[in-house]
Amino acid sequence: MSKPIVAVVGRPNVGKSTFFNKVVGRRVSIVEDTPGVTRDRIYAEAEWNGIYFALIDTGGIEPDSEDVILSQMREQAQIAMDMADVILFMVDGRDGMTHADQEVGNMLRRTGKKVILLVNKIDNPRNLPADFYDFYELGIGEPIAISAANMLNFGDVLDEIVESFPDGAGDDDEDSIKVAVIGKPNVGKSSLINVLLGENRVIVSPIAGTTRDSIDSPFAWGGDEYILIDTAGIRRKSKVNEDIERYSVIRAIAAIERCDVCLLMIDAEEGITDQDKKIAGVAHEAGKGIVVVVNKWDLIAKETNTMRDFKREIEAELQFMSYAPSVFISVKDKQRVFDVIKMTKYVAEKRAMRVPTGQLNSLITDATMMKQPPSDKGKRLKIYYVAQIGVKPPLFSFQINKRDLMHFSYARYLENKIREGFGFEGTSIKFVFREKG
């Protein structure tokens, strides 16, 4: 299921990343080591009272001048307005209101989105600075005084965030498959999108007006409906050079969060880059379906094993998602372009698949007989019962004797067995471990 998106916007040094880390820090981290963007503090999953959402820190790199700060903030605000369900606008209560705050406030005031104004660094809430009330002038509602460093007033902020999610945010539109086309500039995303939309003129104009889908394009193929996410965002370029990569990554992350299947486009001549790996890591952690689309295959001189060798490179570079299928296409020559859609559908189906509990448990029993579960200080891991408790992505609950005994490598082994036994190509699968009391 796609989660509501909450984006944090604000000047450098107001405390955005402190806030981000504190909110996210409460969450138990995922055991796996994926090269996700999580470590760069751009994106993380957060939770409050059982409601999950994606938190995105839109902050840019340290700018050196007031001009750069302003253009960075405009870019942040634009991303937030395009993508987020709720925008957190953070200002610094010690500095008081600045010109940049006013500019961004003007932009955000005009959006139809929910904006929450956070005045940070109010370490002593009983002693509000005199100019605190200036922030009312921004016209975006009641400022909330917080101290990110001390987590003061976090309960109020988190309550307000989750109460502000629009109805239906995070719900699945069961009938259509949401697809995000992700990749570096010039790999051929627009070309692919044009072919997909252009040759499938069911509805080609973007739907406007809905709170979050203003730039989504629906199309139909082979009797199925698809929604292409964020095509406009991909086209827009940042004026601040050093930030182009960061902002395109942030946009990509927001699009991934909303999709069912992510098409990771790779340039056949360039191979897989670090940025591709980061993006793939986010899709993996977010539990999305993924198809690796190698484009510009026409430019490659083919020898007997060219495709096999390329597949091996993909496997080596994207080891953490060896389940992702790849398709080799040339948008230019219209070669295998619609295989991309067939594969998208296939992966979406696998991601939504449910397996029978009986078969699942006998598969796990067999697996534990083939490879003994780990033990520690004479105590051995016991798995009593397994059930699939969710789809999109497939989620399995294991009843076990002791959580500490479930080592990552053994969980990985069981994951591979489940994949071998049932398929689940193209989708990450998730486990929860519950101790039987």
Residues that bind ligand GDP (CB under 6 A): 10, 12-18, 59, 120-121, 123, 147-150, 183, 185-191, 295-296, 298-299, 330-332
What is the spatial distance between Cα 383 and Cα 371, in angstroms, rounded to a whole number?
A: 13
**Dihedrals φ, ψ of 58, to 5°?**
-85, 5
Q: Closest CB to ligand GDP among 337 and 364? A: 337
CB neighbours of 113 closer than 8 A, spacing ≥ 6? Answer: 80, 81, 84, 85, 86, 87, 211
Q: Identify the bridge partners of residue 385 per DSSP, sorted by sequence position.
A: 399
Q: Closest CB to ligand GDP among 332 and 402? A: 332
Residue 225 Cβ vs ligand GDP, minimum distance, rounded to whole Å: 23
Q: Closest CB to ligand GDP among 2 and 295? A: 295
Q: Closest CB to ligand GDP among 187 and 414? A: 187
Buried b (16+ CB within 10 A) or exposed e, 285-316: bbbbbbbbbbbbbeeeeeeeeeeeebbeebee
Q: Identify the bridge partners of residue 87 per DSSP, sorted by sequence position.
A: 7, 115
H-run or E-run covering 179: strand 176-183
What separation in angstroms does the CA of 393 have from each of 112, 171, 349? Answer: 31, 14, 11
Q: Closest CB to ligand GDP among 58 and 427? A: 58
Residue 28 Cβ vs ligand GDP, minimum distance, rounded to whole Å: 22
Q: Closest CB to ligand GDP among 330 and 427? A: 330
Quote the crossing angle between the two packed helices 66-83 and 99-109, to the nearest 10°: 20
What is the spatial distance between Cα 260 and Cα 392, in angstroms, rounded to a whole number?
A: 8
Cβ count near 95 (within 10 Å):
15
Q: Closest CB to ligand GDP among 59 and 233? A: 59
Residue 340 Cβ vs ligand GDP, minimum distance, rounded to whole Å: 12
Q: Closest CB to ligand GDP among 193 and 400? A: 193
Of the candidates 236, 184, 235, 239, the one whose C-alpha atom is nearest the C-alpha of residue 72 is: 239
Residue 304 Cβ vs ligand GDP, minimum distance, rounded to whole Å: 22
Q: Closest CB to ligand GDP among 188 and 393? A: 188
Q: Closest CB to ligand GDP among 176 and 191? A: 191
Quote the crossing angle between the two packed helices 337-351 and 189-198, to the nearest 10°: 90
Residue 161 Cβ vs ligand GDP, minimum distance, rounded to whole Å: 18
The CA-based angle 316-428-425, given to 5 degrees, is: 75
Q: Would you list the DSSP string of 55-70? A: EEE---S--SSHHHHH
Identify the residue whose tokens are 């750069």.
68
CB neighbours of 372 closer than 8 A, spacing ≥ 6? Answer: 380
Residue 56 Cβ vs ligand GDP, minimum distance, rounded to whole Å: 13
Q: Closest CB to ligand GDP among 336 and 430? A: 336
162 alpha-carbon distance from chain centroid: 18
Residue 132 Cβ vs ligand GDP, minimum distance, rounded to whole Å: 14
Of the candidates 331, 287, 290, 273, the one whose C-alpha atom is nearest the C-alpha of residue 181 is: 290
